[in-house]
Amino acid sequence: MEREEADLLVIGGGITGAGIALDAASRGLKVILVEKEDFASGTSSNSSKLIHGGFRYLKSRDFKLVFEALHERGLLLRLAPGVVEPLPFLIPVYNSSIRYITKLFLWLFSHEKTTMMELIKAPLALRISVALYDLLAGKQKIKKHKILSKSEVLRAEPMLSPEGLKGGAIYYDAFGLDFRLTLSVIKKACEHGARCLNYTEVVDFIKEGKNIVGARLRDKIKGREYEIFAKKIIIAVGPWADELRSKADLKEKILRPSKGSHIIISREKLKINNAIVMEASDGRLTFAIPWEDLVIIGTTDIEYDKSIDEVRATGEEVSYLLEIVNRYFPSAKINYKDIITTYSGVRPLIDTRSSSVGDVSREHRITEENGAITIAGGKLTTYRVMAKDVVDRITKKPCVTQEIKLKEQCEEIPFEVEEDIKNHLVKIYSKRDIEKMAGMIEKNEKLKERILPSLPCIWAEIDLAAKHEFAVKLSDVMIRRLGIYFRKPKSKAIENIAKHMAKLLGWSDERTKLEIEEYLKEVEKGMEWKRDININLE
């Protein structure tokens, strides 16, 4: 059996594992990263796609976490422009019977539980909350908050319900395309010498006594097995941590998984200009988040003890989210038929014995046992800090990731395309990626044509994904490279895209057919919630 040695074996190709690989490789360590599915195929492509300080964490007075996340938000806006972009959030404030000053007093000076929405309904508390958020951001503040009157709120968002509306506020956070951010970090780690392998699973751990010194791996595409020996093993698999730790005979369970589900609708149906902060019936903050021509509505926060590989949105969750958005936007009349697709992710929260998963801290935890380091918890925004904390345990060389550009901005496209295509390419891809596509288009002009008439994606992106972005399956391209799945999940172009990939990757007709079938299973999973609801959607 083949064997290889490394300083670090990182298990997990989500944002945390990717961050560790980049941090360690940039400090001169020999790094191998393995992921059992595609990069970012778990929680790192199924988040709310927000790079944020965590406005709702103010209610628990978790100021350290908010400060840290706001600092990282500022860094990511600089290091990954386009992939991470500023986003205004509007909080509409409606009638409430809350005793304002009492609630503010309880929040500041006692431990009595108060929901964030109860807090921000109090005019004085709202002003203090958004001002405190800006204060914690310091120099990383995107733009100063605004307090709005009722008329100003309705001018900003005409579709909001005017009934009982008192006013509101706008504060600023950021939108981050999670799967592209993760891929950017993976690619940058490889530029610094890391080897990153997707569709490579851990079959077993290799031990010397109780000490874990390596792992036996299996390439799921080619079927071959080999061994990696490393000075340190890092378990960075998010919600799969307890499962993999059990395989390594690390018995202590450290997670309290929580499921977050989202629905996606067209922005034509819900014409919003800002992300909207909404209150669920259980007091949880939910959001309507504009994403180009789409709106993401979410998220739920439900304790989850089922198979993480089979996680999906349920009919109950879909109904819950529709009730919230229709209460705030009654004129939109959003119904089940308007849902393009859904997606769900599992948060790898640390088990702190809190009564509710919503109260569990989003801070991370690192444990080291028998030669293996496990990292769990945390959030998308703070992945770089999490990675630094892990690698600091392994080497005394200083961290430099705060200076590593994840995406070198391209100002000009070196080939002729329509304006919407140009804007799309500049936003998503680095200068180096666009130069690679230009070289491909020089050899084949058809690669700059649209894949679908209604979308700005071009065929050269598929070539780039297959040759330079580790895409080996149709689902990789449709979901986590181009994101066509979120707009046109059952597009008529599926077969043509599969055939194009077949030429690039040497697939047989049988393999091509299988890839289409596997992708359509993903599409069906996104709509399985229909089975839970006793309603005819035809």
* pTM score of the predicted model: 0.94
Shortest CA distance to 365 belongs to which of 235, 259, 243? 235
Query: Which three-class secondary structure string do you get for 320-359?
Result: HHHHHHHHHCHHHCCCHHHCCEEEEEEECCECCCCCCHHH
Instruction: Indicate the helix (H) or strand (E) that contains 285.
Output: strand 285-291
Q: Does one domain contain both 138 and 192?
A: no
Residue 57 domain-assigned (yes or no): no
Residue 394 domain-assigned (yes or no): yes
What pLDDT score does 100 carry?
A: 40
Ranges 110-114, 346-350, 417-421: which has the least confidence: 110-114
* Overall average pLDDT of the 223-237 stretch: 98
- At residue 371's C-alpha, the angle toward residues 370 and 373, to 5°, is 105
What pLDDT score does 4 carry?
A: 96
Q: pLDDT confidence of 284, banded at 50, 70, 90?
A: confident
**The pLDDT of residue 59 is above 90:** no
**The pLDDT of residue 282 is above 90:** no
- At residue 314's C-alpha, the angle toward residues 161 and 344, to 5°, is 85
What pLDDT score does 105 carry?
A: 45
Residue 173 corresponds to which tokens in the numbers above?
A: 């956070």
At 322, which CATH number?
A: 3.30.9.10
Instruction: Count up the domains in the chain and report the number.
Output: 3
The full DSSP string for 401-464 is: GGG--SSPPP-S-SS---HHHHHHHHHHS-HHHHHHHHHHHHH-GGGGSBSSTTS--BHHHHHH
Share above pLDDT 90 across residues of the chain, in percent, rounded to a whole number: 83
**The pLDDT of residue 536 is above 70:** no
What residue numbers bound the domain in which 10 lies? 2-44+179-256+359-403
| Distance separating alpha carbons of residues 134 and 128, to the nearest angstrom | 10
Q: Does one domain contain both 438 and 518?
A: yes
Q: Does one domain contain both 161 and 278?
A: yes
Q: Does one domain contain both 432 and 481?
A: yes
Q: Does one domain contain both 93 and 31?
A: no
- The set of residues, in sequence order, having a beta carbon less than 8 Å from that of 531 and lying 6+ positions away, is 315
Cβ–Cβ < 8 Å for 23, 391: yes
What pLDDT score does 98 carry?
A: 37
Instruction: Indicate the helix (H) or strand (E) that contains 511.
Output: helix 509-526
Strand 165-176 and strand 50-51: the pairing is antiparallel
* Overall average pLDDT of the 337-361 stretch: 80
Residue 353 domain-assigned (yes or no): no
What pLDDT score does 79 carry?
A: 98
| Distance separating alpha carbons of residues 415 and 263, to the nearest angstrom | 36
| Distance separating alpha carbons of residues 156 and 145, to the nearest angstrom | 14
Residue 81 domain-assigned (yes or no): no
| Distance separating alpha carbons of residues 142 and 158, to the nearest angstrom | 25
Cα of first residue to Cα of last residue in the chain, in angstroms, is 55
| Distance separating alpha carbons of residues 469 and 252, to the nearest angstrom | 36
Q: What percentage of the chain's residues is helix, strand, coil (to nearest 5)?
A: 40, 25, 35
What pLDDT score does 411 carry?
A: 85
In the chain, the amino acid numbered 394 is I
What pLDDT score does 56 carry?
A: 77
Residue 371 domain-assigned (yes or no): yes
* Overall average pLDDT of the 279-287 stretch: 87
Cβ–Cβ < 8 Å for 85, 275: no
Residue 265 domain-assigned (yes or no): yes
Point out the domain boundary residue: 403, 435, 469.
403
Residue 389 three-state SS = helix
| Distance separating alpha carbons of residues 357 and 301, to the nearest angstrom | 7
Read off the pLDDT of residues 503-518 as tens digits, 9 standing for 90 and up. 999 999 999 999 999 9
What pLDDT score does 101 carry?
A: 37
**The pLDDT of residue 484 is above 50:** yes
| Distance separating alpha carbons of residues 372 and 308, to the nearest angstrom | 22
Most confident of 128-137, 139-148, 507-516: 507-516
At 18, which CATH number?
A: 3.50.50.60
| Distance separating alpha carbons of residues 199 and 505, to the nearest angstrom | 15
- Please state at what angle helix 494-505 crosses helix 459-468, rounded to 10 degrees: 40
Residue 511 domain-assigned (yes or no): yes
Q: Does one domain contain both 224 and 128?
A: no
What pLDDT score does 457 carry?
A: 98
DSSP 396: -
Point out the domain boundary residue: 346, 371, 392.
346
With 0-12 CB in 10 A as exposed, 13-18 as middle and 19+ as buried, what is 30?
A: middle
- Please state at what angle helix 383-391 crosses helix 15-26, rounded to 10 degrees: 50
Q: Does one domain contain both 152 and 128?
A: yes
Q: Does one domain contain both 313 and 334?
A: yes
Cβ–Cβ < 8 Å for 484, 457: yes
Q: Does one domain contain both 117 and 252?
A: no
Cβ–Cβ < 8 Å for 257, 308: yes
Q: pLDDT confidence of 102, banded at 50, 70, 90?
A: very low
Read off the pLDDT of residues 369-384 as tens digits, 9 standing for 90 and up. 999 999 999 999 999 9
With 0-12 CB in 10 A as exposed, 13-18 as middle and 19+ as buried, what is 200?
A: buried
Q: Does one domain contain both 120 and 209?
A: no
Mean pLDDT score of the chain, rounded to an integer? Answer: 92
- The set of residues, in sequence order, having a beta carbon less than 8 Å from that of 49 and lying 6+ positions away, is 175, 176, 177, 178, 289, 291, 296
Q: Does one domain contain both 208 and 312?
A: no
**The pLDDT of residue 107 is above 90:** no
Residue 123 domain-assigned (yes or no): yes
Q: Does one domain contain both 160 and 192?
A: no
Residue of higher predicted confidence among 160 and 412 = 160
The full DSSP string for 205-242 is: EEEETTEEEEEEEEETTT--EEEEEEEEEEE--GGGHH
Q: pLDDT confidence of 314, banded at 50, 70, 90?
A: very high
